[in-house]
Amino acid sequence: MSVSLFCPEGASKEEKYQALIPQIQSLIAGEPDLIANLANIAAAFKQAFDFFWIGFYLIQANELVLGPFQGPPACTRIRYAQGVCGTAWKERKIIRVPDVDQFPGHIACNSASRSELVIPLYDQDGAIRGVLDIDSDELDVFDAIDVHYLKFFFDHVDLF
């Protein structure tokens, strides 16, 4: 079975999300395994946008534990309310950080990270189960388009 994604050359960020999201939905449709699906989601977004780091942290006991990701090795465990990820978990909100040096308590898993976007992930009952974390090695990379399409994507997949 061949698995490949089509991402239009020279497309805008918005066009890329619009092209990519249905393809990722198809890629994971019918596959019940959480880790397999998160791995493919991380790989697909990494391929399309060449993010410095993209990955998942999943809540286990009272910590976030590193899940499938693409990019350099990262911190394995993040405590509740710690860093951008732990704060997004605590506050149950999307956090966009244009400059990680301005975010008190930011956890620098990699010193190259300059901006970051964290999206909480919920199950069908509305319980928070983890977060998506995307890091860039450039300042202020993430904007309302990223927030809109990533929120839309995770609002419409049944992962957990």
Contacts with ligand SME, residue ranges (CB under 6 A): 53, 74-75, 78, 83-85, 106-107, 109, 113, 116, 133, 135
Which is nearer to ligand SME, 135 or 146 (by Cβ)? 135
Alpha-carbon separation of residue 73 from 28, 67, 105, 108 (angstroms): 25, 11, 20, 12
Which is nearer to ligand SME, 77 or 148 (by Cβ)? 77
Q: Burial letters for 3-30: b for 16+ Cβ neighbours within 10 Å, e otherwise? A: eebeeeeeeeeeebbeebbeebeebbee
Which is nearer to ligand SME, 47 or 110 (by Cβ)? 110
As measured in angstroms, the least distance from the Cβ of 10 to ligand SME is 30
As measured in angstroms, the least distance from the Cβ of 18 to ligand SME is 27
As measured in angstroms, the least distance from the Cβ of 97 to ligand SME is 8
As measured in angstroms, the least distance from the Cβ of 137 to ligand SME is 11
Report CA dihedral (76, 79, 83, 89) to the nearest 10 degrees: 110
As measured in angstroms, the least distance from the Cβ of 160 to ligand SME is 21
Q: Which residue is nearest to ligand SME (CB)?
A: 83
Among 61, 47, 54, 59, CA closest to 16: 47
Residues comprising the chain, all counted: 160
Residues 18, 26, 141: CA angle, nearest 5 degrees: 35
Which is nearer to ligand SME, 38 or 85 (by Cβ)? 85
Which is nearer to ligand SME, 27 or 43 (by Cβ)? 43
